[in-house]
């Protein structure tokens, strides 16, 4: 019998390359929300993949980018720390886009650490196979990758090969978490994230980035039902208006979509009591950031 292997793997890449999608696919459940908006993932999310022979702990990091607010500052710091703590870095890029300034910025950061790096070329379902090799060559000129793995995180193409290569890279080690453990985020946090995801999907422009969700109450009720009260915080009253919508139509739609997924997560019927409040400048307030889980 071979020894048990375990280790930590950081997912790094520009916003929207599919880091959260890959994590959710590998884990077979939604632990990170996904959308086509940058900065969808604000925290370091830990996802644990366990089999009889290995345990891989994935860190889905917020993107590395130049900080603009205090929240942005913290996100960059979190991402950099993650690079140094881990056994392996997966650098995800979009097969459908050329190498950009964002990718070069990340490569510069990767050169500062000694951790081995795999280049994971995602979204291959979107490109002709002929386009893949030139793109990979461009990346190979910039950095010496341990492996290059083309995948589609959305459809699961080649993800098992990727997993196999990851495990080969990991040292022998113990299981750090019990086998049934999938994520370090409490249900309450994921519930808030699922609501935020629906806001990201349904709104545009400045609204998505100015939104945070606080889950104030999760109370079991009769017939296995769970009462969830949550508040969507926004920075301006004009945004509050958009989020509520004509006769409450937007808030109703957000609630309807979020409730469906929260029910799936909790495995119980859910009554979702959703509110919108204006909390100016929450992104720069220490207290709020801590309350929302963006600070440890």
Helix (H), strand (E) at residue 75 = helix 70-85
The first and second tokens of residue 88, run together, are 């392996």
Smallest separation, CB 36 to K ion (Å)? 6
Annotation: binding site: 13-20, 60-64, 122-125
The first and second tokens of residue 130, run together, are 């002929």
Residue of 41, 61, 152, 183 that binds Mg ion (CB under 5 A) = 41
Chosen from K ion, ligand GDP, Mg ion, none, partner binding at 202 (C-beta under 5 to 8 Å by type): none
Which of 215, 174, 209 is CA-nearest to residue 193? 215
**Using an 8 Å Cβ cutoff, are 117 and 146 in contact?**
yes
197: Cβ–Cβ under 8 A, 6 or more apart, which residues?
33, 34, 35, 40, 258
Annotation: binding site for GTP: 13-20, 60-64, 122-125
**Using an 8 Å Cβ cutoff, are 62 and 45 in contact?**
no
Chain length of the chain: 296
Chosen from ligand GDP, Mg ion, K ion, none, partner binding at 126 (C-beta under 5 to 8 Å by type): ligand GDP
Beta carbon nearer to ligand GDP, 41 or 210: 41
Report CA torsion sign: 117, 123, 125, 129: negative
**Using an 8 Å Cβ cutoff, are 276 and 234 in contact?**
yes
For residue 183, the tally of other CB atoms under 10 A from its CB is: 21
Smallest separation, CB 114 to Mg ion (Å)? 25
Instruction: Identify which range of 10-18, 178-186, 220-228, 237-245 contacts K ion by CB under 5 A.
Output: 10-18
Smallest separation, CB 59 to ligand GDP (Å)? 12
Q: Which residues bind ligand GDP (CB under 6 A)?
A: 13, 15-21, 34-36, 40-41, 122-123, 125-126, 152-154
Beta carbon nearer to ligand GDP, 22 or 254: 22
CA 176 to chain centre: 21
Q: What are phi and psi of 154, to 5 degrees?
A: -70, -40
Instruction: Identify which range of 1-9, 18-26, 256-264, 286-294 contacts Mg ion by CB under 5 A.
Output: 18-26
Chosen from Mg ion, K ion, ligand GDP, none, partner binding at 263 (C-beta under 5 to 8 Å by type): none
Residue closest to K ion, measured at CB: 40
Smallest separation, CB 156 to K ion (Å)? 19
Chosen from Mg ion, ligand GDP, K ion, none, partner binding at 203 (C-beta under 5 to 8 Å by type): none
Report the interface residues with Mg ion, using CB under 5 A: 19-20, 40-41
Residues that bind K ion in the complex, under the rule CB under 5 A: 16, 40
């Amino acid at each position: 019998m071979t020894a048990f292997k375990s280790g930590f793997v950081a997912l790094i890449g520009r916003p929207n390359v599919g880091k959260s999608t890959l994590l959710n696919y590998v884990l077979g459940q939604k632990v990170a929300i996904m959308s086509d908006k940058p900065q969808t993932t604000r925290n370091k999310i830990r996802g644990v993949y366990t089999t009889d022979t290995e345990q891989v702990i994935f860190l889905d990091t917020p993107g590395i980018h130049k900080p603009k607010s205090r929240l942005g500052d913290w996100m960059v710091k979190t991402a950099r720390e993650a690079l140094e703590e881990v056994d392996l870095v997966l650098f995800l890029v979009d097969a459908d886009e050329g190498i950009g300034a964002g990718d070069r910025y990340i490569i510069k950061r990767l050169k500062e650490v000694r951790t081995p790096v795999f280049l994971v070329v995602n979204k291959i379902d979107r490109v002709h196979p002929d386009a893949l090799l030139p793109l990979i060559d461009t990346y190979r000129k910039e950095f010496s990758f341990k492996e290059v793995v083309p995948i589609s995180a959305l459809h699961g193409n080649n993800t098992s090969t990727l997993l196999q290569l990851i495990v080969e890279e990991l040292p022998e080690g113990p299981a750090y978490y019990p086998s049934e453990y999938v994520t370090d985020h409490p249900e309450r946090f994921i519930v808030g994230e699922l609501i935020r995801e629906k806001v990201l999907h349904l709104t545009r422009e400045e609204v998505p980035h100015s939104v945070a969700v606080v889950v104030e109450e999760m109370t079991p009720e009769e017939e296995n039902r769970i009462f969830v009260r949550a508040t969507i915080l926004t920075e301006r009253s004009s945004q509050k208006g958009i989020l509520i919508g004509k006769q409450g139509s937007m808030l109703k739609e957000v609630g309807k979509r979020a409730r469906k997924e929260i029910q799936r997560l909790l495995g119980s019927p859910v009554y979702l009591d959703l509110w919108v409040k204006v909390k100016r400048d929450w992104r720069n307030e220490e207290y709020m950031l801590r309350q929302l889980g963006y600070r440890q």
